[in-house]
Amino acid sequence: MSQRRSRSNDDLEAEGAARDFLHDIGRAAESLLASLEERRSCLIVTHYDADGVCAAAALARTLCQLDTPFHIRVVDQLDETVIGWVKRNPHYKCVVMTDLGSGLLSRLEAELSDREVFVVDHHIPEPEAEGGAVREVNPHRFGIDGSTQASSSTLAYLLVRSALPEEAPTLSPLAVVGALGDRQDVGRHFSLTGLNEIAVRDGVEHGYIKRELGLRLFGLRSRPLLKCLEYTFDPYLPGLSGDEAACYNFLKSIGVKPSEGGKLRYFKSLSREEVRRLATELIKYSMSVGLSVRESERIFGTTYLRPREGEDSPLYDAREFAAILNACGRVERHDLALLLAMGVRGRVLSDAMREVEGYRRALSSAINEVRNSRERYVSELDHLVVVDLSGRVSSRMLAAVASILASSKVWGITKPLMAITKVGEDALKVSLRKPISIDAKYRAVNLGQVMRSVADELGGVGGGHENAAGGTFSADLKSELVRAVEAEISRAISA
């Protein structure tokens, strides 16, 4: 166990930047409680992904305890349309924005000056607006990397923890799920670090979270082993991920029966020798298709479990829970995602699982098509690899495809990767990522700043993190967009 993971929460919270930020969160919590007491209603605006959903759910569950009416609106991004909608609904006097907002503080202050607005966001913020009417909670203001050390769901958890410390631990799994959904497991053995670790430790201490080291296969406890292999994209297993027949043949070839008695086998039915053989052969297989030993060993890592869910539940493993929420968000079933995060099960869970199956099939199909027809979709410029998926994937699936392409060396991408697709007839959605094997000269490029600069230049909306960013632009600006992004990257590496 690493030195970082052996420290207590008191140690983590006493560190300079973290201490100051947590103190600021405490003041924000006091302001929010005072506003709720005065206003007696609240609007939560959040992003559709797992982090945004978990952040909103943590606040909503707290509002339920406070007997405070609320409404949640889930959006693709914060833009003029969303701000205009909020402005046209003046009965919401207290507005909380989670997982978005820091990039448009000046607009929020200008348009919503008659409201009490709280922004709980971990994306790179714009310079602080004059006046400070919007109450912002953002780790970047204190020199803490919001892309790796603090998800928005963790920030929401810390807000609740400061306001209602005795009630907060029940919400710690939401922070863990949200952080994993945002791929913040960047610590040793794919663990959560920084402020995210506070939520992990609270959850462990109160019996809501359990940590284990093991295989990082999707749905390892809830799905047949064959499906676990097929649906694993993080890490990406070339030739196996998304290909059921190939996974079946692989299991047979290593002496692990995929089925027995006419039924597909689950991981828990494997003998100790079969588990050892599966792990060993997965590493051998990964190396045989060109991955390094280190890349191949990404199949192992930290698993965060939720002991208060049944072990055969797809919500038992926090990573699988995050994947389910992300899938529901990307197929626009926000209702299912929010209800699951709020603790509802039964039919909601079964409906969500049907959506997940369809989403994973579509994701598998898209990734395999790019892999098999690379020349059709992928073009390479001096400082940028462009993957044009217009007409092939939805705007909400784009980020997932971009992340998968960026997460494995098998794709051989060493420059920033930009995936593009159309949104209706009038807009383009962009996802910008740093690949895992990025050339050293691009490592210091801040993709969030790149997208913001391009948005300022072309009139779109853009921003994000240092290693992952996105934006929306006019559909007739595709050529200009590609040129502008490459030019910004070129300027960044020349600075």
Question: What are the extents of the domains in the chain?
Answer: 3-186, 214-369, 376-494
Distance CA 88, CA 85 (A): 5
Has residue 6 got a pLDDT over 50?
no
pLDDT tens for 127-175 read 765 557 899 999 999 999 999 999 999 999 999 999 999 989 999 999 9
Has residue 324 got a pLDDT over 70?
yes
**What is the CATH topology of the domain spanning 3-186?**
inorganic pyrophosphatase (n-terminal core) (3.90.1640)
The answer to whether residues 405 and 436 touch, using CB atoms and an 8 Å cutoff, is no
Place of tokens 């959006």: 75
> What's the chain's average pLDDT?
92
DSSP class of residue 383 equals: S
**Closest of 445, 371, 379, 15 to residue 193, by C-alpha:** 15
Largest CA distance in the chain: 70
- The set of long-range contacts for 242-247, using a CB threshold of 8 Å and a minimum separation of 24, is 242/363, 242/364, 242/365, 242/367, 242/368, 243/364, 243/368
Both structure tokens of 234: 């993080």
The answer to whether residues 113 and 91 touch, using CB atoms and an 8 Å cutoff, is no
Distance CA 353, CA 379 (A): 35
Has residue 5 got a pLDDT over 50?
no
Both structure tokens of 348: 């909601």
Residue 146 has a pLDDT of 95
List 137's β-bridge partners, or say none: 120
pLDDT tens for 356-380 read 999 999 998 999 899 889 999 999 9
Say what the pTM is.
0.89
The pLDDT confidence band at residue 84, using thresholds 50, 70 and 90, is: very high
The four Cα atoms 22, 23, 28, 32 give a dihedral, to 10 degrees, of 90
Architecture of domain 376-494 in this structure? Roll (3.10)
Size (the chain), residues: 495
Distance CA 367, CA 194 (A): 32
The pLDDT confidence band at residue 10, using thresholds 50, 70 and 90, is: low
pLDDT tens for 211-265 read 999 999 999 999 999 999 999 988 889 889 989 999 999 999 999 999 999 999 9
For residue 183, the number of C-alpha atoms closer than 13 Å in the C-beta half-sphere is 16
Share of the chain above pLDDT 90, in %: 83
**Closest of 172, 427, 417, 463 to residue 307, by C-alpha:** 172
Distance CA 357, CA 243 (A): 14
Residue 265 has a pLDDT of 97
Report the number of secondary-structure helices (H) and strands (E) in the chain.
Answer: 20, 15
The pLDDT confidence band at residue 3, using thresholds 50, 70 and 90, is: very low
